[in-house]
Amino acid sequence: MHVLIEWTYKTPRGTETVFRSEEMRAAKALLFAEDIERTGRAKNIVFMDQLDTIWTVKEMKHYLKEIETEPHNITVYFDGGFDRETKKSGMGCVIYYDQNGKSYRLRRNAPSVELTSNNEAEYAALYLCLQELELLNVHHLPVRFIGDAQVVINQLSEEWPTLENNLSRWADRIEAKLKDLKIQATYELVGRKRNAEADRLATQALHGISITATREIVED
């Protein structure tokens, strides 16, 4: 979960003003908040998440302790590819998450011969990601879904209407799965370069290369 910190600062002469930080991971924000608190000049320290929910320092400590052993701070990249000549599709899924104080990356792809367009493959790729999140036992958490599929991102964000029946069915399946897992989804549209990893997985699936792998991410 990403949050920002808001606090009231009081000078020795009693002048007060309110500061607000940039958005950052909740665990990092808590470290800053505790340090700010130690100055003795800050009060009313709170956190605000992406849904504008307000958290106290005590509530944030409890939340982070509660989710420490479960996957959290989750970001998902998805991509789908469709070959018009062979009528085959490939789906790529990359999930970044934290668990037990460590960071991980899960990669998964899958082929399909049942889809009819690139947009449908993009929807199927996102649904594949939801299935992987379910296997990770992700629930009741905010999750960022990032892709380069303008149609999918804008339709799920309700910026565009979903007029095609087959895409509408996929959107309904995705919304139902999100509701079942109690996932608070946010969607982000990026360029193809920023989605290269998921794109590569989708292409590999189209060529019959199956990948399922999870590894720990170790910072240099």
Query: Does residue 51 sit in the same domain as residue 127?
Result: no
Per-residue pLDDT tens digits for 150-177: 999 999 999 999 989 999 999 999 999 9
Final residue before a domain boundary, out of 27, 52, 67: 67
Question: Can you give the pLDDT of all 220 residues of the chain as single tens digits?
Answer: 789 999 999 888 889 999 999 999 888 999 999 999 998 889 999 999 877 889 999 999 988 887 888 899 899 999 999 999 999 999 999 999 999 889 999 999 999 999 999 999 999 999 999 999 999 999 888 899 999 999 999 999 999 999 899 999 999 999 999 999 999 999 999 999 999 999 999 999 999 999 999 999 987 6
Q: Among candidates 198, 209, 170, which has minimal Cα distance to 91?
A: 198
Same domain, 52 and 150: no
Residue 206 has phi, psi (to 5 degrees) of -60, -30
Show the tokens assigned to 92. Answer: 């790529």
How far, in Å, CA of 212 to CA of 198, rounded? 12
Cα distances (angstroms) measured from residue 31 to each of 7, 18, 26, 108: 14, 19, 9, 34
CATH number of 179's domain: 3.30.420.10
Residues 111 and 161 grouped into a single domain:
yes
Between helices 26-38 and 57-67, what is the axis angle to 10°? 140
Do the Cβ atoms of 145 and 187 come closer than 8 Å? Answer: yes
User: Is residue 94 located within the same domain as residue 202?
Assistant: yes
pTM (two decimals): 0.77
Q: DSSP labels for 105-154?
A: EEEEEEEESS--SHHHHHHHHHHHHHHHHHHTT--SSEEEEEES-HHHHH
Residues 111 and 165 in one domain: yes
> Domain limits at 56?
2-67
